[in-house]
Structure 1
Amino acid sequence: MIPFLDLKAQYRSIKDEIDQAVLNTLASSQYVLGSEVSTFEEEFAEYCGAAYGIAVNSGTSALHLALLAAEVGPGDEVITVSNTFVATVAAIDYCGAAPVFVDVEPDTLNMNPHLVEEAITERTRAILPVHLHGHPADLDPILEIARRHDLRVIEDACQAHGAEYKDRRVGGIGDLGCFSFYPGKNLGACGEGGMVVTQNEDFARKIRMLRDWGQEKKYHHKLKGYNYRMDGIQGAILRVKLRHLDGWTTARREVARRYNEQLVGLNLTLPIEKPWAKAVYHVYAVRILARDALHNYLNEQGVQTGIHYPIPVHLQTAYASLDFPENSFPISESSSRYLLSLPLYPELSQSKVSDICNYIHNFHQEADEE
Structure 2
Amino acid sequence: MHAIRIDRPGGFDALRQVELPEPAPGHGQVRVVVHACGVNYADGIIRMGLYASAKALHGYPIIPGFEIAGVIDALGPGVEGWKVGERVLAPTLFGGYCDAIVLDAGHLFRVPAGLDMAQAASLPTVFLTAWFLAHRKLHPRPGDRWLVHSAAGGVGGALLQLGRLAGCRCIGVVGHSDKVALARELGAEAVLVRDQGKWWHRARELAPEGFEAVFDASGVATLRHSYALLAPTGSLVIYGFHSMLPRDGRLNWLRLAWDWLRTPRFNPLDMTQSNRSVVAANLSFLQSHAPTLRSGLDWLLSRFEEGALRPPPLSTYPLAEAARAQRDIESGRTQGKLVLTTRHAASTQV
What's the TM-score, normalizing by structure 2? 0.36
User: Which one scores higher on RCO, CA 8 angstroms, separation ≥ 6?
Assistant: 1
Pick the structure with more strand per residue.
2
When you count helix as a share of all residues, which structure comes out higher? Answer: 1
- With the length of structure 1 as denominator, give the TM-score of the two structures: 0.34
